[in-house]
Amino acid sequence: MIALSEALAIGESQGGCPKALSDVFSISSGKGFVVDTYSPVPHYKEGTPASKGYNGGFMVKLLHKDLGLAVQAAKDCGATLRECPPNVAVYERMMELGLGDKDYSYVY
């Protein structure tokens, strides 16, 4: 979700339309659940939390908890995570901003 949101932000900064960019992503190597089913773009896919004010869906506070558990599990078994900690930090910041009850696609 974070990677898609960043890609959309880059495209939008260059004058791209988020819905058109999502259409391109959905038929390319960017195809996947967060584009095709759970888009963070409001009204790109009706019925998504993004189309309902980012309400409903999987709350930031739950994702933050789950990512924290993954980081701890990795530490416990001596594994190194490179990509997870920065994502934890993003959702930690969202928690600090009082967005814990919003859907995790609010990161967009």
Show me where the domains of the chain are located: 2-52, 60-107
d(CA 60, CA 66): 10
Decide if pLDDT at 30 tops 90. no
Burial (CB count <10 Å: 0-12, 13-18, 19+), residue 91: buried
8-21 pLDDT, tens digit each: 999 999 999 999 99
The whole-model pTM stands at 0.88
